[in-house]
Amino acid sequence: MNIHHVYLGLGSNLGNRKNNLEEAIRQIGEFASIKKSSSIYETEPWGLKDQPIFLNQVIYMESTLGPNELLSHLKKIEQQMGRKKSVRFGPRLIDVDILFYDDLIMKTDVLTIPHPLITERPFVLVPLAEIAPKLMHPLYHKTIHVLSQDIDQSSVLLCKD
């Protein structure tokens, strides 16, 4: 059975945001081996500005699940935790995105890997650079550290809680 190296981005801006991140990670740990987790960052909303502030975090895990099976597990966690369909980029109890899955490059109707908006999102790049600065983006052929230097990080603050 193959072990896959996966980076996930997590975000929450409704309810007890920190507990939401912790609960999602606990549930992910039921089917994957979590190896690293970034600090938690407080971040300005992205895409839709008029909503509460987010807490964001990135984790590195190892899993035997294929990418579509992993996505299915993550969507199930979001639903079980009470995530409701709303406006695109809107408020959410929990959001879990697959950022990288090995060096895989794929695009289907339901899943794109690497996540297509990584390079535009400081709330992903800052925590990702914390735990994987030398990780190479398979499409841009730049490290996460280099990509994180190319983006305004002023909206991402280390959470002091």
The mean pLDDT values, 10 residues at a time, for the chain of 161 residues are 95 94 97 97 80 93 97 94 66 90 96 95 95 97 95 88 60
Q: What is the model's pLDDT at position 159?
A: 85
State the alpha helices, DSSP H only, in the chain: 17-28, 67-80, 122-131, 144-149
Q: What is the model's pLDDT at position 46?
A: 72
Query: Which burial class, exposed, middle or buried, applies to 12 when counting CB atoms under 10 A from its CB (0-12, 13-18, 19+)?
Result: buried
Q: What is the model's pLDDT at position 129?
A: 97
Q: What is the model's pLDDT at position 161?
A: 60
Identify the bridge partners of residue 59 per DSSP, sorted by sequence position: 8, 37
pTM score of the predicted model:
0.94
Q: Which domains does the chain have, with CATH numbers?
A: 4-116 (3.30.70.560)
Q: What is the model's pLDDT at position 52?
A: 86
Q: What is the model's pLDDT at position 107?
A: 97
Note whether 147 and 156 are within 8 A (CB): no
Q: What is the model's pLDDT at position 85?
A: 67
- The position carrying tokens 């190319």 is 150
Q: What is the model's pLDDT at position 91?
A: 72
Q: How far apart are the first and last CA of the chain?
A: 39
φ, ψ of residue 71 to 5 degrees: the values are -55, -45
Q: What is the model's pLDDT at position 92?
A: 77
Buried (b) or exposed (e) across 79-116, using 16+ Cβ within 10 A? eebebeeeeeeebbbbbbbbbbbeeeeeeeeeeebbbe
Residues with catalytic function = 83, 92, 95, 97
Q: Which two tokens stand for residue 124?
A: 């992903």
